[in-house]
A = this chain, B = another copy of it.
Amino acid sequence: MQALEERIRKDGVIKEGNVLKVDSFLNHRMDIELINEIGREFRRLFPDKSINKILTIEASGIGIACITAQYFGCPVVFAKKTQSINIDGEVYSTQIKSFTHNRTYDVIVKKAFLSPDDNILIIDDFLANGCALLGLIDIVKGSGASIAGAGIVIEKGWQNGGELVRSRGIRVESLAIVESMSVENGIVFRHEQTV
């Protein structure tokens, strides 16, 4: 997605440790116009009319999922990272390791909010090692719902999450795949790669 790639190149900040900071437009300050374009693009990529629910994970996936859901006319369910004493009843749960925060989260979705009749699109802001996405896939599979695919805003192409998920037969559409990046040479997107 050209507007997204241009924005990443303009405002993304490459930090030591292969960190790409996009917090000025995607996951701290959120550019709602750009996220609207992102939502429209996800609809174009997943035209399947049977998609009836979007699943994401708190926190930074939620805004993107909500804007995107408007193009699908469907509700959003977000997986919760912390065990809240307000969550009652039965939940689907999995564990997700966050390398960013260097800890493992229990992630839960209330069983009442997923059904075997659902055809679910998973939305998230980043795909790197795939832990969060694989966790969400586990939760959906546990519910018996179908997975229409996963819509990712930015995939780190040099990490193996994309390959891991695609090798399980899940369709993954990433709007920007960063193939490599460095402070010296900037960002190379996958489609720009020279062999």
Contact = CB atoms under 8 A, between A and B. Distances in A.
Interface in A51-109: 58-60, 62-63, 65-67, 69-70, 73-78, 80-82, 84-88, 100-102, 109
Given A62-B63, A110-B23, A75 B30 contact: yes
Q: How many copies does the complex hold?
A: 2
Interface residues of A, number: 43
A30 B84 contact: no
Interface stretch (A31-39, A40-48, A159-167, A174-182): A31-39
A112 B66 contact: no
A24 B69 contact: no
Contacts of A7: none
